[in-house]
Amino acid sequence: MLKYKPDRRGTAELNGYTAKRLNEMALSLSSLARSFDGEAGSGRGLGREEGLTALRTAADLVCGSCSRCNIYKDSTKEDSYFLSYLLGAFSQKGRVDREDMPQLFLETCGQSAEYIEQINRSLGRATMNLAWKNRFLESRETVIAQFRELAVILEEFAKQMEQAVDVTPSGERTIKRVFRMKRLAISRLLILEYGSGQRELCASIRAVGGRCMTAKDACKLVGQALGGAWMPSRDGRSVITRTEAAYRFIEEGKYRLTYGVAGLPRDGEAVSGDSFTFNGSLPGQVVASLSDGMGSGETASKESSRVIELTEELLEAGFSARAALKMVNTVLLLTGGEQHPATLDLACFDLYTGVLEMMKMGAAPTFIYGENGVEMLEAGELPAGIVGSAEPVLLSKKLWDENWIIMVSDGVLDALPGEEKELSMREFLEGAEYGQPQELAEAVLAFARSFHGRPRDDMTVLAARVWKR
Note the pLDDT of residue 341.
Answer: 57
pTM for this one?
Answer: 0.65
What's the distance, Cα to Cα, between the start and end of the chain in Å? 46
H helices of 164-214, in order, are 168-181
Structure letter (DSSP) for residue 384? B
Q: What is the pLDDT of residue 118?
A: 83
SS3 159: helix
Sheet of 393-398: strand order equals 274-279, 285-293, 342-350, 355-361, 393-398
Query: Do the beta carbons of residue 259 and residue 407 sit within 8 Å?
Result: no
Fold of 255-468: Phosphatase 2c; domain 1 (3.60.40)
CA atoms of 367 and 352, how far apart (whole Å): 22
Domain layout of the chain by residue ranges:
1-162, 165-251, 255-468
Strand, helix or coil for residue 432 = coil
Q: What angle do CA 378, 383, 150 make, to 5 degrees?
A: 95
Q: What is the pLDDT along the chain (469 residues), one digit of tens a residue?
A: 334 344 555 556 666 667 777 777 777 767 766 666 654 445 566 777 777 787 777 777 777 667 667 676 667 776 677 777 778 878 788 888 888 887 777 777 777 788 788 888 888 887 787 777 777 666 666 677 677 777 777 777 777 777 778 899 999 999 999 999 999 999 899 998 887 788 999 999 999 987 889 999 999 999 999 998 898 987 788 999 999 999 999 998 889 999 999 999 988 888 888 888 888 777 678 889 888 876 666 766 676 677 777 777 777 766 666 667 667 766 666 665 445 556 778 888 988 889 998 888 778 899 999 988 999 998 755 455 544 445 567 788 999 999 999 999 989 999 998 889 999 999 999 999 999 999 999 999 999 999 987 888 889 999 999 998 7
Rounded distance between C-alpha atoms, residue 61 and residue 111, angstroms: 11
CA angle 251, 254, 258 (to 5 degrees): 105
User: Between 321-334 and 297-316, two packed helices, what is the crossing angle to 10 degrees?
Assistant: 140
Under 8 Å between Cβ of 411 and 438: no
Burial of 285 (0-12, 13-18, 19+ CB in 10 A): buried
Q: How far are the Cα atoms of 128, 303, 421, 426, 463 from residue 434, in angstroms, in the given order? A: 59, 33, 21, 14, 10
Q: Give residue 443's pLDDT.
A: 95
Per-residue model confidence (pLDDT) at position 456: 85
- What pLDDT, on a 0 to 100 scale, did the predictor assign at position 25? 72
SS3 287: strand
Rg (CA), the chain: 31
Report phi then psi at 451, rounded to 5. Answer: -90, -15
What's the CA gap between 232 and 217, in Å, rounded?
9
Strands (E), 173-214: 184-193, 199-207, 213-214
SS3 state at 354? coil
Tell which residue, 40, 52, 43, has the closest CA to residue 130: 43
Task: Report pLDDT for 401.
Answer: 93
Kindly report the backbone phi and psi dihedral angles of residue 233, in degrees, each rounded to the nearest multiple of 5, phi listed first.
-70, 150
Please name the residues in contact with 31: beta carbons below 8 A apart, sequence gap of 6 or more: none
